[in-house]
Chains A and B, each alone.
Chain A
Amino acid sequence: MRLYLKYASIIFRSQMQYKASFIMSLIGQFLTAFTVYLGVYFMFTRFPSVNDFTYTEVLLCFSLMLASFSLAECFVRGFDTFPSIISNGEFDRIMVRPRNEIFQVLATRIEFSRLGRFLQAGFMLAYAIPKSGVAWTPDRILTLIIMIIGGFFVFSGLFIIYASICFFTLEGLEFMNIFTDGAREFGKYPFSIYGDGVLKFLTYVIPLALFQYYPFLYLTGKSDRILYMFLPLIAILFLVPCLLFWRFGLRHYKSTGS
């Protein structure tokens, strides 16, 4: 952990070498998320509710999704940019250092400008929490926190799968973005609105719904099954197959010529 902070500090100092660029991308990240928010807002000016979810509830859902995604993007960015780590030979360097590869991949890319999105999510949460009409009892506050944590880990797992595929192809496969960037976009609405098939897929195959839809039902009082509250923790188990896949890929690492 101490070493992680050292990495973070050296990356922070590097990014500060280009102050203007850093501030611009921070603002850019903030504004991108903001436009998506406008999309939600304008839709609800025409329809008062979607599938029984009110405007402020959807807003809460969206900000939760955004918060966990931007956290994952900030700290697990190394896996998202893994094709470039492989092609510029950085991964060879990682392999000759006496530390865990996953740790090093995490620590070599920390994207502080992504905190702009997190800031946006924070603002939206601050707005949506009191307006959502949810009666905030301690267990619901806990659910909210568990949801963000679960989301962070599921997105991290998806990034790891994306990176592991690179061991075989040496470049990223764009279809994986459906589940990462895509999930952030369509995850602004509770998944049930996309129909039963999608919901099942997102429950049993890619467990995005485990940290979004089900606990959200509990949060908004649409269900009182206490199990739903802890589903995001089960979703964390998704990391296990992801890490196994990573191990498998690592043995097939081909490196690139020099």
Chain B
Amino acid sequence: MIELKDICKTFRVSKRNAGLKEAFKSFFRREYTCIQALDNVSFTINEGEMVGYIGPNGAGKSSTIKIMSGILTPDSGRCIINGRTPWKDRIAHVKEIGVVFGQRSQLWWDVPVIDSFELIKDIYRIDGSTYNKNLNELTELLDIGEIIRTPARQLSLGQRMRCEIAASLLHSPRILFLDEPTIGLDAVSKTAVRQFIKTINKERKTTVILTTHDMQDIEALTERIILIGKGKILLDGILDQLKKRNSTHKKLSVDYLGDGSSLSVLPDGMHLLDNLDGHAKIAVDTSILPVSNAIACLSKNMEITDISITGSTVEEMVVTLYEEFQI
């Protein structure tokens, strides 16, 4: 379905030091540094999959998306999507994909959203009945029936993002690329967008590739993640397995009565993180000490009024991964 093999891409970036003199100098002689944006990137994604593509800023996420959507031509390597090479067969290729750039709009700024939709219908040559069916379905699922008669510039970010997503799905694409779709959205809009992406993936069997910095997006949506750093694919795996690998640490939050002096002596596998005004945070390494034993040990020595257990979050897991790979 989607196959990338040894994709490389370098950019030339001009460099100069600060200051007027340097600016003047660089006018005549420029120093360039080559940045290897993508370094032998290879992966395969099957039809109907939902993949989270993560990595720190500047890791090469957007470049990969741009190559897969036919915007950029790589220096070398092979990329076959639905049997086509995106940059060689651009027009046929882009008919089957939808792209949402979270930070860029595809709607015409000054006219009502529905006018943009109508123009997109003509650009993609969507026939009337498909268009109406998709439009009805999308307006209902995304709850945008009220706002599509408003000019795009007067919409809130959350409303606009929902319209953007609708716009990229009007032509029933088989693949949807989402580049940071929840950036800057409030909690309610984020949930709505996530819910919708899930539905589309499940019901239309649309393949979804999602880049994001919001780990809740990843947790809520994807089963598989691909981690990229400094242009290299560092990790490609199932989220649950990764979680298991990293889930030997649990965190206990405890509210207790008394002075908590007993917390100063803890058995092996428990480690006090924080202790303040009758509220303590304790890390438990479950490979040494099961959580139940840890709780028993605590309750033996003090009176506990409230307790909660949290596993390591995806957020923390990714931080650990970034540290592990030094990116």
Do A and B make up one complex? Answer: yes
Residues of A with Cβ closer than 8 Å to B?
A: 2-3, 6-7, 10, 13-14, 17-18, 88-89, 92-93, 95-100, 251, 253-255, 257-258
Judging by beta carbons under 8 Å apart, are B94 and A98 in contact? yes
B152 to chain A, nearest CB (A): 10
Q: CA of A93 to CA of B179 in the docked complex: distance in angstroms?
A: 13
Give A95's nearest chain B residue, CB to CB.
B71
Option from A2, A13, A18, A96 in Cβ contact (under 8 Å) with B70: A96
Residues of B within 8 A of A254 (CB): 11, 72
Closest partner residue, chain B, to A92 (CB atom): B71
How near does chain B come to A16, taking the closest CB pair, in angstroms?
9
Give the shortest distance, in Å, between A180 (CB) and chain B (any CB): 24
Stretch from B98-106, B240-248, B253-261 that touches the partner: B98-106
Give the top 8 A-B pairs by smallest Cβ distance, nearest first. Answer: A14-B110, A95-B71, A98-B95, A17-B110, A89-B104, A96-B99, A98-B91, A98-B94
CA distance A255 to B38 in the complex (A): 15
Binary contact track B78-112/A, C-beta < 8 Å → 1, others 0: 00000000000011101101010101101011110
Contact assessment for B123 and A98 in the assembled complex, using a CB-CB cutoff below 8 Å: yes
Q: How far is the CA of A128 from the CA of B99 in the complex (A)?
A: 53
How many pairs, one residue from A and one from B, have CB atoms within 8 Å of each other in the complex? 73
Q: How far is the CB of B128 from chain A (nearest CB, A)?
A: 15
Complex interface: chain A residues within 8 A of B99 (CB): 96
- Of B101, B111, B116, most buried by chain A (CB within 10 Å of CB) is B111
Interface size on B, residues (CB 8 A): 34
B101–A13 contact, CB under 8 A?
A: no
Q: Is B32 an interface residue (CB 8 A)?
A: no
A13:B110 contact, CB within 8 angstroms:
yes
Chain A's closest residue to B179 (CB) is A258
Question: How many angstroms between the C-alpha atoms of A228 and B94 in the bound complex?
Answer: 46
Report the bound CA distance from A100 to B123 in whole Å. 10
B43 within 8 A of A: no
A92 touches B123 (CB 8 A): no
Between A and B, 10 residue pairs with Cβ closer than 8 Å are A10-B116, A92-B101, A93-B104, A95-B70, A95-B71, A99-B91, A254-B11, A254-B72, A255-B71, A255-B72
Query: Are B115 and A13 closer than 8 Å at their CB atoms?
Result: yes
Known A-B contacts A96-B97, A98-B92; A257 and B69 likewise in contact (beta carbons under 8 Å): no
Indicate whether A253 sits within 8 Å of B71 (C-beta atoms), given known contacts A7-B119, A89-B101, A92-B66. yes
State the CA gap A253–B91 with chains docked (Å): 17
Q: Which A residues lie within 8 Å of B116 (CB)?
A: 10
Query: Residues of A contacting B179 with CB < 8 Å?
Result: 258
Question: Taking the complex as formed, is B312 at the interface, i.e. its CB lies under 8 A from any CB of chain A?
Answer: no
Closest to B177 in A: A96
CB distance from B72 to the nearest CB of A (A): 6
CA distance A228 to B110 in the complex (A): 47
Which residues from B are CB-within-8-Å of A2?
122
B122 close to A258 (CB less than 8 A):
no
Q: Is B71's CB under 8 angstroms from A96's CB?
A: yes
- B62 at the binding interface (Cβ < 8 Å): yes
Q: Which of A10, A18, A96 contacts B69 (CB 8 A)?
A: A96
Tell me the complex Cα distance, A111–B69, Å: 30
Considering the chains assembled together, what is the distance between the CA atoms of A88 and B119 in angstroms? 21
Whole-angstrom CA separation of A100 from B111 in the bound complex = 24
Closest A residue by C-beta to B104: A89
Q: Which residues in A have their C-beta under 8 angstroms from that of B56? A: none
* Interchain CA distance A97-B90 in the complex, whole Å: 9
Bound form: Cα–Cα A88–B69 in Å: 18
Q: Does B311 contact A (CB under 8 A)?
A: no
Chain A residue at smallest Cβ distance from B62: A258
Option from B72, B104, B108, B125 in Cβ contact (under 8 Å) with A14: B108
B99 to A, closest residue via Cβ = A96
A257 vs B180: C-alpha distance when bound (angstroms): 13
Digitize B42-84: 1 where CB-to-A-CB distance is under 8 Å, 0 elsewhere. 0000000000000000000010001001111100000000000
* Chain B nearest Cβ from A211, distance in angstroms: 33
Which chain B residues lie closer than 8 Å to A100 at the CB level? 91
Asked if B269 is at the interface (CB within 8 A of a chain A CB), the reply is no
Known contacts A14-B108, A254-B11, A258-B62; is A95 also within 8 Å of B122 by CB? no
Chain A nearest CB from B1 CB (Å) reads 18
Q: Which of A6, A17, A257 contacts B151 (CB 8 A)?
A: A17
Q: Known: A3-B123, A258-B101. Is A93-B106 also a contact (CB below 8 A)? A: yes
What's the nearest-Cβ distance from chain A to residue B114, in Å? 11
Task: Report the minimum CB–CB distance from B127 to chain A (whole Å).
Answer: 14
CB pair A96 B94 closer than 8 Å: yes
The distance in angstroms between the C-alpha atoms of A3 and B124, with both chains bound, is: 10
Q: How far is the CA of A99 from the CA of B122 in the complex (A)?
A: 10
Output the least CB separation between B158 and chain A (Å): 19
Shortest CB–CB separation between residue A67 and chain B, in angstroms?
29
Cα of A103 to Cα of B191 in the assembled complex, Å: 38
B94 to chain A, nearest CB (A): 5
Q: Shortest beta-carbon distance, B68 to chain A, in Å? A: 10
B35 to chain A, nearest CB (A): 11
Q: Is the CB of A255 within 8 A of B66?
A: yes
- Distance A18 CA – B180 CA, assembled complex (angstroms): 32
Interface centre among B70, B73, B116 (most CB of A within 10 A): B73
Determine whether the beta carbon of B122 is less than 8 Å from that of A92: no
